[in-house]
Amino acid sequence: MKQLYLIGGPMGVGKTTVCRELQKRLDRSVFLDGDWCWDARPFQVTEETKAMVTENICFLLNNFLRCSAYDHVIFCWVLHQQAILDGLLSRLNLENCQVRAVSLLASPEALTARIEADIQAGRRDRAALERSLAYLPLYDVLHTEKLDISRLTPGEAAARLERGL
């Protein structure tokens, strides 16, 4: 049976890094970051671009799920609203597939430290910190497993995901 990991969390929490570590641990795995489907200049959030990105993500995920070469499909994105998760799931062919929806979380202090490091390195701007902290409480109400990675290395977080928190 295939395993689909839907990994959400606020910007800067470490989703991509943890998912790359998880991919290393899982044989026959593939990783898709939702941000790759929205890497555009200029970055524009409109109804048209949201629909296009969602359609592209579902197309790719369905192809990975259909492909016999992979047993584990790992996907990460901000996923801060239940409607986003439900919308993706409703468009995926999940026959013979177990889904694990997980929100990676961190304390406001840990999240701030991670994003501040990204700002210093030129990977994010200061506005990302405000947005990320504002999104953090939205994950409390989602129907996902929660994993606080404030004090975990990416490898430790991946190990917990692999064995089921």
Q: pLDDT tens digits, the chain, 165 residues: what are they?
A: 999 999 999 999 999 999 999 999 999 999 999 999 888 888 888 999 999 999 999 999 999 999 999 999 999 999 999 999 999 999 999 999 999 999 999 999 999 999 999 999 999 999 999 999 999 999 999 999 999 999 999 999 999 999 886
* Rounded-to-integer distance, Cα 134 and Cα 15, Å: 17
Domain boundaries, the chain: 2-163
Q: What's the confidence (pLDDT) of residue 164?
A: 83
Determine the Cα–Cα distance for residues 155 and 27; give it in Å rounded to an integer: 16
Helices 47-66 and 82-90 meet at what angle, rounded to 10? 50
For residue 70, which of 139, 2, 149, 15 has the smallest C-alpha distance? 2
Q: How many CB atoms lie within 10 A of CB 18?
A: 27
What CATH number has the domain spanning 2-163?
3.40.50.300
Give the contacts of 161 (CB within 8 A, at least 6 positions apart). Answer: 5, 7, 18, 22, 100, 102, 147
C-alpha angle 3/60/1, rounded to 5°?
20
Residue 134 DSSP label: H
- Nearest of 42, 39, 87, 24 to residue 61 by alpha carbon: 87
What tokens were used for 66?
A: 């259909």
Q: What is the pLDDT of residue 134?
A: 96
pLDDT at 165: 67
Euclidean distance between CA atoms 102 and 69, whole angstroms: 24
Q: Alpha-carbon distance 63 to 82, whole Å?
A: 23
Q: Cα(22)–Cα(32) distance, rounded to whole angstroms?
A: 12
